[in-house]
Each structure stands twice: as structure tokens, then as C-alpha cells.
Amino acid sequence: MSTTLITNISELFTSDAAAGIITDAAILFEGETIAWLGAATDAPAADTVLDAGGRAALPGWVDSHSHLVFAGDRSREFVARMAGQDYAAGGIAVTTAATTAASDYELTRLVMGRVAEALANGTTFIETKTGYGLSVEEEARHARIASTVVDRVTYLGAHLVPAGMDAQEYTDLVCGEMLTRVLPYVQFADVFCEQGAFNEAQSRQVLTAAREAGLGLRVHGNQLNPGPGTKLAVEFGAASVDHVNHIDASDITALAGSWKSWDAVTRTGTPGTVATCLPACDLSTRQPLAPGRELIDAGVQIALASNCNPGTSYTSSMAFCVSTAVLQMKLSIEEAVTAATYGGALALGVQDLVGSLEVGKRADLQLLNAPSIAHLAYRPGMNMSGPVFRAGALVAGSL
């Protein structure tokens, strides 16, 4: 198998608790896999040698929360929000109408464009959700289209009760025929447990049915209000609870308890429920930022994700999420980058494949047009994205 050495890396941030940061580094790919990494002076010979030009390198971003299957535009809703209107779950219906009207070709083209945009900005592994279909046919169509483009698909039929439908009748559909139809295309199920969306009993019903169907679980919890979402996620052993803006000390304690069988240093044991913070969404909806600092200090593993969607967070920039987490959520740059790489991988259960630079893992790596990862927050808003490698192949930029 052919080998590629990337050398002259000023700072290699591995997202690996043991290896940390290696300065004046090099990394070797063998096919799709990382075969070696260390000091450039110790680098082995390779078929191809690429000069990183003194740039910093880090794992590709792992974006564990997005809603890319949509058509239409909600900028007017955004403008109204910036003028003082509150965000409400009802906006989802606007996107559902526009998405239902889009052909398979158009929807596939839109999702592919969004994935390509994310890739060019360093995202090499991405999850996306259904949830703008809200009927059996549409949810199945969106799941099928997503499954051809992204790395992991989450079924979010329980996003909003469609207008004119009884909430219990719709929940039964989500747990019945709709679930059966999306199953071939999805790995996870999610529920928007929130006032105006699904209440605790309905959320339990969705999570129970999804678990029985063999899916991994996630919860949109405590985005807009205090409520049962986070504790439900822990109770059901969900892989993640996402948003976590309106959580209290008892929610943090419940999340921390889920990590008691996990060793954060050796990264062994049984993972708990990842708290996924979505800072771009928090800013765009003027919600309080999720308490990332408090969660980390309590021993909870967190992820940072884009939540790219047309209603609350129309960006796939993980770099923006990282800089916001550092500047406003009081994370260190290392914590924020780890959350946007290894944390996302943990939230998707793919930490043995991606999310850190370790021998044997998939060769997903991005170079920054900067000498250190600190520049991500030190120079906020500047595009730092350099060449991007996915599974050992150069997929964006050039060297």
C-alpha cells in the first residue's frame, strides 16, 4: 500500500489524551490509515512526501449534529428574531413545506453542496438528521437521500407535530410505520423534547420504540426551557443530549453520573451520554450559551457541533463553534478542539475510527493556514482552513 508523509508541521494537535501536542511534527498515512506520527526528525521514509509549510495540523472536525436535508430560506424569520422576536419550534413547518416541494434530484444536490462546503472547512465526518419531512413518505425519502451523502443519519420524525394532526396520533406514527420505513437508512433516532414539540410521555414513547428497533438514541433537550430532556437522555442511555442550554445542577449531576464507568485519561470503559453544545445556534437564537465549562468541570464529556439548519444555525463552520466556545464559554483551545473532534466522535460512537490522530485510525486530518491551533480563537472570523485529508486522500485545498 502506498505511503504519504506530511512533514514540517509546526504543531500537531492529536486530540489524543496521551499524545497531546507534538511540535515540529510529521505524520505518515498508509492508504486510508494513520501508520505513524511523531517528531519530524524521526520520520520514516515514504512514497510521497508533502511539506506542510510550518502549518498546524489537527484531526478533521467531527460534526455530530446537523440538519442538512432541507430546501428553502428562513432569513426573514432570522431578521425578525434579531429584532426581538423569540424563536419557536413552529418555524420547522416552513422548512417542511419547502423541502416537501423539492425533487429527489434537487434535495440530493442541496445536501451534497452542504457536505462539500463543510468538508472544505475541515469537517471530515458528519451526521445529519431527518425531521423536515414529518410524514411517512417524506421522512423515508429524506433518510434515504441523507444516507447516500453523509456518514451517519439520525431519524428525527419527532421534530414537530404537523399542523392539523393530533399529537398522540402523530407520535404513534413516528413509533410505528414511519420508524419501520426509515430503519434501513438510519443509525440513530432523536426526539425534540421541548414545550411546543414533544412532551415527556411522548418523548419516552419515541425513545422506547427506537431502542426496541435497535437504534442508538439522541435527544434535543433543554434548548428553550428547563424540562425533562437531559434526564430522559441519561435514563435511556442516549449517546448524546444536544443543546443543554437550560439545564440545572441536577441535570449536570445526572450527566456526570453517566460517565462514572469511563476513564477519561485512558479513554476506556463504558461511555455515558455526551452533552453536545451548539454555540452557533445559541447565538443565532439568542439563548444563553450552554454551560460547557461547568459540564467539563463536572466530568461530563462534551461535543461541539454546528447544528447546521435553516432555522436556528445556518452555518457548518466548526471553527466558528470552536472560537465561540473559547471566547465565550470559557473552554481552553485544547478543550474546544477536542470537543469538536473526539467529542463528536464519542457522541456518534465512532471514537475508534475518527476524532483523534492515532496509529490505526482513519487518516482524517486538516491543516490550518496558521502555525498553531490557538489561532482558531486568537483570530476569530478569519478563514484558517487549509488542505483537508479524508481517509488518506487530499479532498480540499492543495499542498
Ligand X SMILES: N=CN[C@@H](CCC(=O)O)C(=O)O
* Matching residue, cell 479524508: 390
Asked if 192 touches ligand X (CB under 6 A), the answer is yes
Give which of 176, 153, 192 is closest to 69, Cα–Cα.
153
List all residues 6 or more positions away from 232 whose beta carbon is below 8 Å from its beta carbon. 193, 200, 203, 204, 207, 219, 221, 238
CA atoms of 367 and 321, how far apart (whole Å): 18
Per CB under 6 A, the segment of 28-36, 55-63, 90-98, 162-170 that binds ligand X is: 90-98
Burial group, residue 265, by CB count within 10 angstroms (0-12, 13-18, 19+): exposed
Q: Closer to Zn ion at the Cβ: 26 or 347?
A: 347
218 is in an annotated binding site: no
Bridge partners (DSSP) of residue 274 are: 240
Q: What is the Cα 202 distance to its own chain's centre?
A: 25
Give which of 253, 255, 261, 224 is closest to 241, Cα–Cα.
255
Number of chain positions touching ligand X (CB under 6 A) = 13
Q: Which of residues 293-332 bind Zn ion (CB under 5 A)?
A: 307
- Chosen residue from 6, 57, 92, 321 binding ligand X by CB under 6 A: 92
Q: Closer to ligand X at the Cβ: 225 or 383?
A: 225
How many degrees, rounded to 5, is the angle at CA 179 between CA 173 and CA 183? 165
Asked if 130 touches ligand X (CB under 6 A), the answer is no
220 is in an annotated binding site: yes
Asked if 223 touches ligand X (CB under 6 A), the answer is yes
Q: Which residue is nearest to ligand X, using beta carbons?
A: 311
Residue 192 contact among Zn ion, ligand X, none, beta carbon within 5 to 8 Å by kind:
ligand X
Q: What is the Cα 283 distance to its own chain's centre?
A: 17
Residue 91 contact among ligand X, Zn ion, none, beta carbon within 5 to 8 Å by kind:
ligand X
Give the contact letters, 301-330, x = binds to ligand X (CB under 6 A), - = no. Answer: ------x-xxxx------------------
* Matching residue, cell 441523507: 146
Q: Closer to ligand X at the Cβ: 5 or 321?
A: 321
Cell of 374: 490557538
Interacting residues toward ligand X by CB under 6 A: 67, 91-92, 95, 192, 220, 223, 281, 307, 309-312
| Annotated binding-site positions for Zn(2+) | 65, 67, 220, 307
| Annotated binding-site positions for Fe(3+) | 65, 67, 220, 307
Interacting residues toward Zn ion by CB under 5 A: 307
